[in-house]
Amino acid sequence: MKRIVVLGGLGLIGSHLCMRLAAEGHDVICIDVRDMAQSPMLMPYFKRRDIRYINHNIVTPFSIDCDQIYNLASPCCLKNDGSHAIATLRTNIIGSINTLDLARRNRASVLYASAGEVYGIAGHQPFGENDQQSSSITSFAESKRAAEAIHYAYRKEYGMNCRVARVFSTYGSGCQIEDRRVVVAMIVAALRNDDIIICGNGSQLRTFCWAGDIADGLVRLMALSSDDKTAVVNLGASYEISIQALAEKIISLTGSSSRIIHAQARRDDPRRMMPDLSLARTVLRWAPSTTLNEGLQRTIEYVERQIDEVFVAPDVGVEYLGR
């Protein structure tokens, strides 16, 4: 049994990861700035003390004995990047330094959750780990790139066991229903029979991976031996679907009367966002096991249970934000 710290453990992927690690018998400590009540999936674990919770912002140095640290702490690129740019930069950069210093004191292994946005929106695809595309100039993408560099530096100079996972679009139960990411936003709109607003003609291609599958990939990446030279691995889905087709599928699965409304295209909206998963398949022996239909049905059932419990301010439709 290991003592494992999950930073950002109340988030979508963090929740699935905490449950996975607790099921394996580890001593799991969830650290997050949010209130534990914001994670209904983890509440039974907190009550049974199967997972312990600490409220803390990793921008402030902290100390705890541990064997492994999963750093998933980061403001959402859609929800916070524009209005909370400095908080995003501080969390991803200063928070990473504080985390690595803690890991160094404990001789603990660290896994950092970066994002597919570091590749930018231009260039050939699917993206490979060695691609060096110009990133969109956002605090989220640039601070993720900087955090990756910090982890590589600690690995090189101090011999630390650091891993980086570049995580692409993820969805699943455990999400906050006010989340503006496309899958949950569309599900909420469909369940309310609200208009689903798509920017552009809806031909943008995306992949969506079930959060539990991402958690499995993170565990496999952490389990690599310290002498394995693999430092960064893409995690995501390989099945592509257009945004238009996604909206139609969600309307069909929910039996909704929602209309699909097309608005002006976004200039910064990538035409395609797809990871190259070759390294994950060969090194981690990992691939997503949850089909999109299965995952969407589970997410719909989860949102149906939560939608009456969390108030979301009414809006004119739900805008697809492009991730």
Q: How many domains does the chain have?
A: 2
- Kindly state whether residue 43 falls inside one of the protein's structural domains: yes
Query: Would you say residue 222 has pLDDT above 70?
Result: yes
Q: Which domain holds residue 299?
A: 171-208+239-271+290-319
Mean pLDDT of 49-63: 96
Are 41 and 107 in the same domain?
Answer: yes
- Asked if pLDDT for residue 167 goes beyond 80, the answer is yes
Question: Same domain, yes or no, for 195 and 134?
Answer: no
pLDDT of 50 strictly over 50: yes
Assess if residue 11 is contained within a domain: yes
226 & 265 share domain: no
End-to-end CA gap in the chain: 37
pTM greater than 0.85 (yes/no): yes
What does the pLDDT read at residue 53?
97
Give the mean pLDDT of the chain.
88
> What is residue 131's predicted lDDT score, i.e. its pLDDT?
62
pLDDT on residue 133: 52
30-39, 56-65, 131-140, 268-277: the lowest-pLDDT one: 131-140
Q: Calculate what percentage of the chain has a pLDDT beyond 70.
A: 88
132 and 187, same domain (yes or no): no
d(CA 182, CA 196): 10
Closest CA to 32 of 95, 93, 125: 95
Is residue 277 in some structural domain?
no
- For 39-46, what is the mean pLDDT? 93
In a domain, 278, yes or no: no
Same domain, 102 and 151: yes
CATH number of the domain within which 203 lies: 3.90.25.10
Same domain, 91 and 105: yes
User: For residue range 98-148, what is the model confidence (pLDDT) as tens digits?
Assistant: 999 999 999 999 999 999 988 876 545 676 766 655 444 588 889 999 999
Specify the pLDDT at position 319: 34
Separation between Cα atoms, residue 86 and residue 81, nearest integer Å: 9
Which token pair is 242? Answer: 């257009």
CB 178 within 8 A of CB 246: no
Is the per-residue pLDDT at 315 higher than 70?
no
Residue 285 belongs to some domain of the structure: no
pLDDT of residue 136: 47
Inside any domain, residue 281: no
Model confidence band, residue 270 (pLDDT cutoffs 50, 70, 90): confident
For the segment 212-240, the average pLDDT, to the nearest whole number, is 91
Same domain (yes/no): 244, 123: no
141 and 245 share one domain: no
CB 29 within 8 A of CB 3: yes
Is the domain of 194 the same as that of 117? no
In this structure, the answer to whether residues 108 and 247 fall within a common structural domain is no
Assess if residue 51 is contained within a domain.
yes
92 in the same domain as 55: yes
Cα-based angle 145, 176, 100 (whole degrees, multiple of 5): 35
| 146 and 179 within one domain | no
